[in-house]
Amino acid sequence: MKIAYFDCFSGISGDMILGSLIDAGLDFNNLKQELNKLNIKYTLAHSKTTRNGISGTSINITSPGKDKSYTPEEILKIIGNSKLSPDIKSVSQKIFSRLTNAEHTIHNGASHKSSKKVHLHELGSVDTIIDITGAVIGLNLLKIDEVYSSPLPITKGFIKCAHGILPVPAPATIELLKNTPLYGNNISAELITPTGAAIITTIAKTFDKLPEMQINSIGYGAGKQELEIPNLLRVYIGDTKEKYRKDTVIIVETNIDNMNPELYEYVAAKLFKAEALDVYLTSIQMKKNRPGTMISVITEEKNLHNILEILFAETTTLGVRTYTTSRFKLQREEQTINTKYGKIKVKIGKLGNTVKNISPEYESCKIIAEKLNIPLKTIYAEVNKVIKK
């Protein structure tokens, strides 16, 4: 499995990500060819530079309407109407949505739901669009399966932007970094930009030490500022020695014996909407011989805060348990196959290049079964029949 590990000793920004990937071997012409599918006017250039004696790649983006700021709706439309692949569109739009939500929370308040009230200012520029989609495209071109990151440095000081003088980290940045491992230092400069925070917190599996890997290439992306430390983002690209994919998750548990059973379906739906990886119920015997239910939630660390809020707001629990554990997984792919009932999605589990498991995607089968008024098990049988051919 091919992975990328971002060593953020001097923070992270969108242009530093692009610079590091190009420095590590990303073909610049291929990157531009893909970015041109956005159908926006821009000029992208890269050059070699040094920071504290270390060579890296610097990125420069210009556009005719440099001061133009796109709205969130316009940006999502630009990506959606592009000729980029569906996967690249999906991840890029997810990053932009998280960036928009962070700006929305900071400047409009959590009670306002309409993204139309959000003004992205600098974050709605062509630069930001190229930085975000370029990062997703670059990782795709390099055939990176998973992304990891070091913990991120939090600095001090102030910056000047469209909203005025703001503290470092910028409010939108620190909003994006909720539930992300951070550490402080005494540098007075903005090391983590909102764009960099949005990208890395969306794509990185974990923020921890370097995983076991064989490093094949190393790249350095140069930041714009001259600092007392090398203002560079370092990326390691290589292969893991693990046969299986491995990640770290948090399990949240709580025992309940005094809640209306009708509420469990609603609670589970809200937990899944908050990006819980799994939710399951276990029947248990509690004190005073009361029958009870244990709610278990598997989640990534970045979503833990939202999971806890839902459990305390929507259930009768007074406390929860959490513990961290590792998972070993097959490499997962999603494909669409043709059946006599129509196109149906299937999930494929692979170990290297060997297919270990193939299973129909429930929602895809359900839609066809309801549309054609055919038993769901018949759809499953047809999918399995096609798979075995």
Instruction: Please report, for the domain that includes residue 272, its CATH number.
Output: 3.30.70.1380
| Domain membership of residue 293 as a residue range | 246-328
- In this predicted structure, the answer to whether residue 81 has a pLDDT above a threshold of 50 is yes
On whether both 197 and 287 belong to a single domain, the answer is: no
Q: Is the pTM of this model over 0.75?
A: no
On whether both 335 and 324 belong to a single domain, the answer is: no
Tell me what pLDDT residue 356 has: 86
Total domain count, the chain: 3
On whether both 205 and 253 belong to a single domain, the answer is: no
Q: What is the mean pLDDT of residues 256-280?
A: 96
Give per-residue pLDDT as tens, 11-29.
Answer: 999 999 999 999 999 999 9
Give per-residue pLDDT as tens, 54-80.
Answer: 999 999 999 886 667 888 899 999 999
Integer Cα distance of 8 and 106 in angstroms: 25
On whether both 134 and 171 belong to a single domain, the answer is: yes
Closest CA to 292 of 301, 282, 278, 302: 282
Q: Write 36-42 long-range contacts (CB < 8 A, 24+).
A: 37/82, 37/83, 37/84, 38/78, 38/79, 38/82, 38/84, 38/129, 38/130, 38/133, 39/78, 39/81, 39/82, 39/83, 40/78, 40/126, 40/129, 41/65, 41/126, 42/126, 42/130
Query: Which residues fall within 8 angstroms of residue 84, CB to CB, at 6 or more apart?
Result: 34, 37, 38, 92, 133, 137
- In this predicted structure, the answer to whether residue 359 has a pLDDT above a threshold of 50 is yes
> Which one of 278, 302, 328 terminates a domain?
328
On whether both 152 and 98 belong to a single domain, the answer is: yes
Under DSSP, the state recorded for 68 is -
Integer Cα distance of 181 and 301 in angstroms: 9
What is the rounded average pLDDT for all residues in the chain? 90
CB 149 within 8 A of CB 8: yes
Q: What is the mean pLDDT of residues 147-157?
A: 93
Lowest mean pLDDT among 35-44, 83-92, 255-264, 352-361: 352-361
Tell me what pLDDT residue 115 has: 46
On whether both 232 and 273 belong to a single domain, the answer is: no
Give per-residue pLDDT as tens, 219-265.
Answer: 999 999 999 999 999 999 999 866 677 788 999 999 999 999 999 99
- In this predicted structure, the answer to whether residue 176 has a pLDDT above a threshold of 80 is yes
Tell me what pLDDT residue 113 has: 46
